[in-house]
Homo-oligomer: A and B are copies of this chain.
Amino acid sequence: MTAASRPATILEVAHLAGVSKTSVSRYYSGERERLSATMQERISAAAEQVGYHPNPLARSLKGGPSGLVGMLVADIRNPFSVAIMHGLEQACRQAGLSLMVCNSDNDPDQERQQLAMMSSWRIEGLVVNAAGCHSDALRQFVTSGTPVVLLDRSLADVQVDEVGLDNTAAIDMAIDHLVAQGYSRLLYITEPPAQASSRQARLARFESRCAGQGLDATILCTELHDQQALDQRLRALAPVVSHARPAILCANGQVTLAVAHRMRALDLRSGEIGLIGIDELDWCGLTEPGITTLAQPTDAIGQAAIDCLRTRQHDRSADRQYRAFAPQLIQRGSTQPPASH
């Protein structure tokens, strides 16, 4: 491969190999079988010599596959989003795809713009992990033949594939664990569900499950920057009576972080007050006595999202997929009540 200031084109390869550019194109478009053995060799050799790689720009301008996958995230700094992104990126790489990441910083206007931008880049597939998502914009993608996968979200008015946590299993697992550990007064803390379906699903399951088991359960639904709301409920939880230990279930990693902060500020000891959170975080083993979590298999989720895209690409009318992954319990001290009496 000779280093060229300008990348080699299909034409140069064709000339060097003494064949037409059509043949070279065929060689790279998965129609090698239709070429004679000699031709295949000559093309391969010529391409090697000039260091040829098909130009994805020209390819997708012509309407071919772009090899680009778009990801729309509401908050790129959310560790969960990062973990998923890692999974996606890995899967893309394996599939020879490139990933275009767009962060909307929770701004619907940005989202619109980002979607338009990705559309103009003719992405082959779109993975969405954003809340206030414009159904109409998404539908545009779908109708124009671009597969869309919703991550950890679902939208009532747009029918696309969905991948995420098995929220029911997660909530059940959390409650079962808390109960088994001797906690019976449960407080569920979540950000306002609003558009985020997974928040809704988790909340709903928590309510019905607790009702079913006759547990003493309450719910705090608040923005995380609202310290007052948080502090008030945490304090109310504090009087620990041995026959009805209280515990907190955090709906996601951001909540866990906020709660851990406030508990420390209020000098509440986890363990005494049970604490379990959905989403595993780097530091959960660090705080005394460690925070029990339900880890999501983020790499698998990312992989599944890409799988969905590719499946639908090959069969545009495939059945709508809904893949839910079970979490893994990582038990730490925060759900270990101190020996009583």
> Interface residues, chain A, CB within 8 Å of chain B?
3, 5-7, 53-58, 60-61, 66, 76-77, 79, 82-83, 85-86, 89-90, 93, 98-103, 105, 110, 113, 116-122, 136, 140, 143-144, 257, 260-261, 264, 281-283, 285-288
Q: How far is the CB of A65 from chain B (nearest CB, A)?
A: 13
Q: How far is the CB of A153 from chain B (nearest CB, A)?
A: 20
In the complex, A57→B3 CA distance in Å?
25
Partner of A101 from B56, B61, B99, B118 at Cβ < 8 Å: B99
Tell whether, in the assembled complex, residue B77 and residue A103 are in contact, meaning their CB atoms are under 8 Å apart. no
List of B residues within 8 angstroms of A119 by Cβ: 7
Q: How far is the CB of A328 from chain B (nearest CB, A)?
A: 18
Name the residue of chain B whose CB is nearest to the CB of A289. B264
In the complex, A85→B78 CA distance in Å?
12
List of B residues within 8 angstroms of A100 by Cβ: 98-101
In the complex, A55→B57 CA distance in Å?
11
Q: How far is the CB of A8 from chain B (nearest CB, A)?
A: 11
List of B residues within 8 angstroms of A77 by Cβ: 82-83, 86
Give the residue among A6, A66, A261, A282 with the most B Cβ atoms within 10 A.
A282
Copies in the complex: 2
Name the residue of chain B whose CB is nearest to the CB of A73. B89
Tell whether, in the assembled complex, residue B288 and residue A56 are in contact, meaning their CB atoms are under 8 Å apart. no
In the complex, A119→B5 CA distance in Å?
12
List of B residues within 8 angstroms of A66 by Cβ: 57
Tell whether, in the assembled complex, residue A5 and residue B98 are in contact, meaning their CB atoms are under 8 Å apart. no
Partner of A110 from B76, B93, B98, B287 at Cβ < 8 Å: B93
In the complex, A282→B256 CA distance in Å?
12
In the complex, A3→B119 CA distance in Å?
13
Partner of A287 from B3, B144, B286 at Cβ < 8 Å: B286
In the complex, A62→B241 CA distance in Å?
74
Name the residue of chain B whose CB is nearest to the CB of A136. B3
In the complex, A288→B287 CA distance in Å?
7
Tell whether, in the assembled complex, residue B101 and residue A89 are in contact, meaning their CB atoms are under 8 Å apart. yes
Q: How far is the CB of A73 from chain B (nearest CB, A)?
A: 9
Partner of A282 from B86, B116, B283 at Cβ < 8 Å: B283
Ordered by A's residue number, 27 sampled pairs between the chains whose C-beta atoms are within 8 Å are A3-B136, A3-B140, A7-B119, A53-B116, A54-B120, A56-B120, A61-B61, A76-B85, A76-B89, A77-B82, A77-B83, A77-B86, A82-B82, A86-B103, A89-B101, A90-B103, A93-B113, A98-B117, A98-B121, A99-B102, A100-B101, A257-B286, A281-B282, A282-B283, A283-B286, A286-B286, A286-B287
